[in-house]
Structure 1
């Protein structure tokens, strides 16, 4: 029988892709499905075949087999049962990619508990908000983060070290999953929205099935690929596209653990002979800026990226260094991936800077304010047909004569920096807790390496100084996350306000754009 994974062309995707075809890729059905079984257990055949390759920041590698993860996940599932954890309870994980992470993630899913991955660089405020929102029964972390985890009221904290895994060794290494397809499997917090607390997106086990459209046509994963995704599995791209999608196809995936280093990444890509990589735009920029691309051998056949557009200079470097075009895939944690460039499809032309075309079954248009469709080249709001009506993506876009889509900026106050999505409101609210900050307005400003960086305009009750800038930066990232702080701080006497008295961020953005244009004009003359 021909399966969707047997087709690689754009034409075949339009002709054969269907919901029924996706279900044929799995053991489960519309009534009963379990992510852990589909991604791990059914591929554990005793052969020791690799499931995950880990490139650790310290230079070491680790290879985890389907057999090892399957056995450990079953033991952890039995342990949860012994501890009285019931289906529907939340189990949170604040772990780097590692054997404990995968064992706990998939073990919890087997029992019907809901897995909640949390970013390892969260500070106390960011962690407290998310734990308070999802109310996990257990919070699993490592020894380094244990003190921070225990400072948050509510969950029981477990340190998932070698001793903990050893304590599970007497438990059975097989487990029968308890879930139905529509049972909740994962609560995924976006890395930032316009709310103070990014909303948890709730995914059922059957989400894995619809995810496969993005896997087949956004990252181009097929059996036989040697896959790698350096994004953290705490976020949607790293978990769904980088971990669950390839494993569901029985494809070995790879990822990065620890503080990111672009040269270390390139060495891993060389050592593991990776043929297919999906990464954030900033990963590619950092590799380019390292100047070390020529030191390694690459084996790519497919490349994809997400999070933000890639600048033309980096796209040129990718073409020269990797000899394969980087294919954008566009979407959000809330709506999934909807625009792709079909990596590996020889009959699909990848246009530099384009978001590509819709995945099979999705309908998108660019609309004017009155709801009419824009002409090619005309900027409007990107709209997605969902649930019998048009919903906004909160992004501006345009199309060309060939039906390709192009991103033209955000329509709200979300800031995307180095692939991370951050909330202006969340950063402002944190900075306002500092004793010297009276008012604060936060926007994103262009940056050559990161796409955007956070800039804060601060009304202080004392004289501004370099020392105060550093203090405010440290204050913010210690309470939110290591990446979530203002890289630029400007002290001002007052902030523009709207009629309701709120900070007028659009005016701040317009002022910055005007200053940049003036500076560019002065430089050119």
Structure 2
């Protein structure tokens, strides 16, 4: 197969590599044996006394491994067996890392639950996964109780933020947490167990459960930006392979010497693989941030802890470069950042580089790909608007939207991106028909993204098939319009959607804009600017200024929420 991208790899990145027959538990244990005394997790909650005292806690790789083994023993003693689903509703914290690798150790399947889910959404996901065990933070317990009878959940492990902290941080956090309105004191009752008690009760001697690379490790539910979420089944092989692909793509990373900024949520596959699993594979210190909002919190921690690697999303980088006090922060410890989940404007990449001295590049992935398939070379050629080149051992092609025929790369034809590689999921849980529609007989994953490729093998996402707007009989790709809006000096964030127009039978192009602080661009001003760069039919007919855009926890704009809001307005207007 033609692979023009191989010549675009930076020095040291292999076209192919060997993937060992290991599980995620094996990968974790390899690091704990190599770097037993190095800091594994640095859980940062806040700073006191002008930054001289950190409220939080550190665990070495040896300490982390012991806690993982204790939790693995506990889960097994509670009745969790190989293949059983363990749902986790946790923020970024040592609890997440401990529970995840404990489940991997005994062959259980982790089900990541978004902590912002309502009781109804929680019930749907837990019931669909068939999870009988739930590990959650105490403040989320009432939501489970509300719907537990409608789920398979038999046992609940309740965690408190201060569980893994030493004195005096544990006492300070406990006292401050109890004063918050969100605090929940979970009473002891049948089927309810406590994280800290389990770690104390059970020793570090988990049973030897035979787990293979092809066993399912994770049910990762898709973001649900276009409909009801469904679970991608990711195996140990998938996740280990993607971790090693990411590692190979950054050959300059220092084994045992990096500090990984973990500000994107672990419950999302991007944060789980790129920050947590890859960080542990590197023997890095995971600087764990439970809440990245406001962005000042991330900037403070980045400065204080001297983070070197920072996977994130465009909203984070945009927030940093536009922060009124950014000049007062020293962020120059950052060396490399990979941005995903949404398009990253080149202006943001360049400005972030000026502020930090680090390299910020755009990548691409999907839940179904564990999640990474493409990235711009971190210290090689970075191209504006490109998601970069396929990772090692990743095949990619574009196919005709109508016929499905392969399209040549030479003329930059536009078609659906298809990907094949060791990181591609085995399928969707309990959805064989959707699996067949997504992965063809030859193993190609159909992404639903419209792409083009340049002569050097750099891919460009033109748009999502499902987001295409039909206006005045023409096809409008939202990203074309959004790229222009991002060029406007008063625009900080922008998203474009098609609003159904029953009278015309097509869509109205509408732009939702978050202005830069202190700016208030008018509709006429935006439209006039767009006229200079876009065909008439692509110019937004409507412009709405907002203080923020609805997003998933990892910064992906929820277009369907905006469209539903507009439909509701039309229904009320009659």
Report the TM range for the smaller structure's normalisation: 0.7 to 0.9
Q: Give yes or no for the alignment of 1:128 onto 2:123.
A: yes
- Does the CA contact (< 8 Å) of 1:72 and 1:173 recur in 2? yes
Shift of 1:285: 1.0
Distance 1:255 1:315 in 2: 24
Relative distance call for 1:177 and 1:320 in structure 2 (3 A) is: farther
| Contact 1:55 1:255 (C-alpha < 8 Å) held by counterparts | yes
Conserved in 2, the CA contact under 8 Å of 1:77 and 1:111? Answer: yes
2:241 aligned with 1:210, yes or no?
Answer: yes
Aligned residues: 427
Gaps of 5+ in 1: 1-7, 24-29, 418-423, 425-440, 451-469, 496-525
Matched, 1:264 2:297: yes
Conservation of the 8 A alpha-carbon contact between 1:382 and 1:393? yes
- Once the two structures are superposed, the pairs formed by residues 311-330 of structure 1 within 5 Å of their partners are 311-330=345-364
What corresponds to 1:83 in structure 2? Answer: 78
Instruction: Specify the SS of the correspondent of 2:300.
Output: helix
- For residues 307 and 35 of structure 2, what CA distance do their matches in structure 1 show? 24
| C-alpha separation in 2, matches of 1:172 and 1:34 | 23
Partner Cα distance (1:252, 1:80) in 2: 26
CA contact (8 A) 2:263 2:289 kept: yes
Tell me the residue number matched to 1:53: 42
Residue 395 of structure 1 corresponds to which residue in structure 2? 449
After superposing on structure 2, the runs of 4+ consecutive aligned residues of structure 1 that deviate more than 6 Å are 414-417, 441-444, 481-485
Instruction: Report the 3-state secondary structure (helix = DSSP H, G, I; strand = E; otherwise coil) of the residue aligned with 1:276.
Output: coil
Equivalents in 2 of 1:144, 1:379: separation in Å?
A: 47
Cross-structure match for 2:460 = 406
Q: 2:326 aligns with which of 263, 268, 293?
A: 293
1:343-422 matched pairs, under 5 angstroms? 343-344=378-379, 348-369=380-401, 370=403, 371=405, 372-373=407-408, 375-385=410-420, 388=442, 390-413=444-467
The verdict on how the C-alpha distance between 1:363 and 1:84 changes in structure 2, with shifts beyond 3 A counting, is closer
Pick aligned residue for 1:113 from 99, 105, 108: 108
Between the aligned partners of 1:37 and 1:368, the Cα distance in structure 2 is: 42
- Cα-to-partner distance string for 1:349-376 (whole Å, 9 max, x where unaligned): 1122211112122222334444232544
Contact 1:39 1:249 in 2 (8 A): no
Partner Cα separation in structure 2 for residue 132 and residue 442 of structure 1 = 38
Q: Distance in 2 between matches of 1:482 and 1:412?
A: 14
- For normalisation by structure 2, the TM-score amounts to 0.66
Contact 2:262 2:287 (C-alpha < 8 Å) held by counterparts = yes
RMSD: 3.7
Is 2:279–2:285's contact at 8 Å kept on the other side of the alignment?
Answer: yes
- CA distance in 2: counterparts of 1:120 and 1:492, whole angstroms: 29
Task: Give CA deviations for 1:318-337 in whole Å, capped at 9, x if unaligned.
Answer: 12212233111111111332
Deviations 1:57-80 (A, max 9, x none): 688443232222211121111112
From 86, 89, 92, give the equivalent of 2:87: 92
CA distance in 2, matches of 1:399, 1:487: 31
Contact preservation (8 Å) 2:263, 2:291: no
DSSP 3-state at the match of 1:407? strand
Contact 1:227 1:252 in 2 (8 A): yes
CA distance in 1, matches of 2:365, 2:208: 31
SS at match of 2:312: strand
Alignment of 1:124-523 (within 5 A): 124-153=119-148, 154-155=152-153, 156-161=155-160, 162=163, 164-175=195-206, 177-178=208-209, 179-192=211-224, 194-196=226-228, 198-217=229-248, 221-223=253-255, 224-258=257-291, 260-297=293-330, 298-335=332-369, 336-344=371-379, 348-369=380-401, 370=403, 371=405, 372-373=407-408, 375-385=410-420, 388=442, 390-413=444-467, 445=511, 447=513, 486=561, 489-490=565-566, 492-493=569-570
For residues 238-267 of structure 1, what are the alpha-carbon distances to aligned partners after superposition, in whole Å with 9 as ceiling and x for unaligned? 111110122023222233202522111112
Cα distance 1:229–1:408, how it changes in 2: closer, same or farther (>3 A)?
A: farther
TM-fit CA distance, 1:388: 3.2
CA 1:292 to 1:353, structure 2 compared with 1: closer, same or farther past 3 Å?
Answer: farther
- Identify if the C-alpha distance between structure 1 residues 494 and 125 changes in structure 2 by more than 3 Å, giving closer, same or farther: same
- Following superposition, the deviation at residue 39 of structure 1 comes to 1.7
8 Å Cα contact 2:93-2:289 kept in structure 1: no
Which consecutive residues of structure 2, in runs of 5 or more, have no partner in the other structure?
1-7, 49-54, 164-193, 422-440, 469-477, 483-496, 498-506, 517-545
* Separation (CA, whole Å) in 1 of partners of 2:224 and 2:114: 12
Q: Secondary structure at the match of 1:409?
A: strand
Superposed CA deviations along residues 222-249 of structure 1, whole A, max 9, x for unmatched, are 4132222321011110111110122023
- Please tell me whether the aligned partners of residues 73 and 207 of structure 2 are also in contact (alpha carbons under 8 angstroms): no
Alignment-derived partner of residue 70 in structure 1: 65
Residue 446 of structure 1 deviates from its aligned partner by: 5.1
Residue range with higher mean Cα deviation, 42-51 or 308-317: 42-51
SS at match of 1:210: helix
- The answer to whether the 8 Å contact 1:227/1:277 transfers is yes
Q: Check conservation: 1:40, 1:69, Cα contact below 8 A.
A: no
- Relative to structure 1, the CA distance from residue 449 to residue 107 in structure 2 (aligned partners, 3 Å threshold; closer, same or farther) is farther
